[in-house]
A = this chain, B = another copy of it.
């Protein structure tokens, strides 16, 4: 059994697990295991029988993705530290329907199913936190579906970029340095078209580049585009 002092330090103030009282939190942590992941390393595979643990992201970044019938990757979401991942399969005890992969050097906490459920079930406040989080996701996904169905490439990519800005640092830099392929898989369009749009927006001064990385210059414009589509 390892020490978790450093883990406790890393729990950001508004993290999901912070909703737990110190006592049950410690009990839960004692049953958890820490794990380090290299970029590209996968921790949950699509199709795994059933969830044996939930994943709590301490540092780094994860992507949730599925590969579609045609073999193309669809990135459903990116996760930043403090987020809980993979608890869906625990709650409804179904198989894993998506894969979880590290996109940078990452440390996670593996929370065993039973310990997690017990802890949450006996702590109404933290349970409400989980409820809120799930509610937020449903909302977010509604927007994705709406966007997919009604918007053309531009607005969809704009939406992906807005979702990926690093809100900590206030410059327009993106989280996890996604490649154009990643952006395509996230926004639902072909890599080539990401390239075309990026070039176009660069000449318009909406975004800039630092080496390979993108920097958003005109956040407001992208937000408008993402919300109202081409007719801004």
On A, residues with C-beta under 8 Å from B are 66, 68-70, 72, 74, 76, 87-88, 91-92, 94, 97-98, 121-122, 124, 127-128, 130-132, 134-139, 141-146, 148-151, 188, 227-229, 231
Contacts and interface: CB of A to CB of B under 8 A. Distances in A.
B149 A68 contact: yes
Given A68-B146, A72-B149, A74-B145, 11 more contacts: A66-B146, A74-B146, A76-B145, A88-B138, A97-B143, A134-B135, A138-B138, A141-B141, A141-B142, A144-B145, A148-B188
A71 to B, nearest CB: 9
Given A131-B127, A134-B131, A139 B68 contact: no
Nearest to A87: B135
Contact of A141 (B91, B138, B150): B138
A149 B146 contact: no
Contacts of A143: 97
A106 to B, nearest CB: 22
A27 B135 CA distance: 25
Contacts of A146: 66, 68, 74
B76 A142 contact: yes
B231 A149 contact: no
Contact of A69 (B137, B138, B150): B150
A91 B124 contact: no
5 contacts: A68-B150, A97-B143, A130-B131, A141-B141, A141-B142
Contacts of A87: 135
Contacts of A122: 124
Query: Which of A69, A121, A136, A227 has the most chain B CB within a 10 Å cutoff?
Result: A69
A145 to B, nearest CB: 6
Contacts of A137: 138
Contacts of A68: 146, 149-150
B97 A132 contact: no
A86 B140 CA distance: 15
B150 A92 contact: no
B149 A188 contact: yes
Query: Which of A97, A130, A141, A149 has the most chain B CB within a 10 Å cutoff?
Result: A149
A44 to B, nearest CB: 14
